[in-house]
Amino acid sequence: MTIDPTSLLSANAGVQVLASSLLGIGMLIPMQPRAARLRPKLQMRALLSAHLDWLMLAFMQWGAVITMTQWPATRSQIVAVLLVCGGWANALPYLFRAFRVDAFVFGGGWLQRTAALLGAVSSAAIVVAWAMICMRVVGGAA
């Protein structure tokens, strides 16, 4: 089954913006007086980081759509899949951190190590996808 990479990236970016917006609304709940007991259990800055990361990664995907539209040689399903997977998974370490699991350090128990590995793999997926895009832009210009 083939899916147009620009359609996949555009739709996924929209869903990511929606998810980030819902997270932003959810972040308001612990700030309310009746839910104040939740505040000490959460690291709100980490939730804010996840919220912003998902927004930025959605914009990155729309940037890839623009690039793929301007330079047809950059259209690639594998690039789109890497950006979609990386776009969702890259913010997860912040969510883990919000619940007191430091996913930015490869150490500790299995949960912390798994979360750190997930962050590393998602970052690598994004870097590989953009490297492929850049190589095709440069190769197409030659």
pLDDT at 31 over 90: no
Pick from 36-45, 56-65, 87-96, 104-113: least confident: 36-45
77-89 and 5-26 helices, crossing angle to 10°: 10
Residue type, 14: G
Distances (CA, A) of 111 to 43, 101, 122: 18, 8, 16
Q: Which of 139, 125, 46 is nearest to 78 (CA)?
A: 125
Answer yes or no: is pLDDT of 141 > 80: no
Does position 89 have pLDDT exceeding 70, yes or no?
Answer: yes
pTM: 0.89
C-alpha angle with apex 136: 133 to 141, nearest 5 degrees?
A: 130
Length of the chain in terms of residues written: 142
Distance CA(86)–CA(81), nearest Å, equals 8
Alpha helix locations (H) across the chain?
Answer: 5-26, 44-70, 77-89, 92-98, 110-141
**pLDDT reported for residue 142:** 46
